[in-house]
Homo-oligomer: A and B are copies of this chain.
Amino acid sequence: MSRFIVGVMGGGETATAEHCRLANRLGQLIARQGWVLLNGGRPAGIMEASARGAREYGGLTVGILPDRDSRSASAYIDIVIATGMGDGRNYINALSSHVLVALPGQAGTISEIALALKNNKQVILLGWDTGNLFNAYRRNGQLHTATTPEDVIGLIKSISQS
């Protein structure tokens, strides 16, 4: 059987220190569950912080890189998938994650939430809210909100058992 993959999305260069701490903690908890952490692979913001957290607890990290060259990935990524497709890789992030967790971000992160919801994935927001825009998906049970990384883990467990 293939490994269970949790996608962790969020801002890159614009991420705040507080949001990076959340991402780091979430990465640690994902690793402790034995799950694989997948993100956008770049050495910045939520990507770097979540991968570092997973690594600190011996977890396996996968980065889906926009670039052609694997060497531009974060040093905390174990498996670098070099797509050469720019933000076209956001679709792959969405499809490859069994559950997607989105920390605060700008349009790139919002595109990943949207593509995941469009493709019937479960999405968990951590540390922010996206307002009313995705209400149809909240009502049909695809979109969830968590306030702590620990809550995220609980939500993922309840989602994957249902």
Contacts and interface: CB of A to CB of B under 8 A. Distances in A.
- Give the oligomeric copy count: 4
Nearest to A63: B2
Nearest to A123: B107
Contacts of A3: 78-79
B119 A96 contact: no
A116 to B, nearest CB: 8
Contacts of A88: 83-85, 88, 91-92
Interface stretch (A24-32, A131-139, A152-160): A131-139
Contacts of A70: 2, 5, 95-96, 98
A114 B108 contact: yes
Interface in A51-71: 60, 62-64, 68-70
Interface string A66-108: 0011100101011111111111101110011010000000111
A130 interface: yes
Contact of A82 (B87, B96, B118): B96
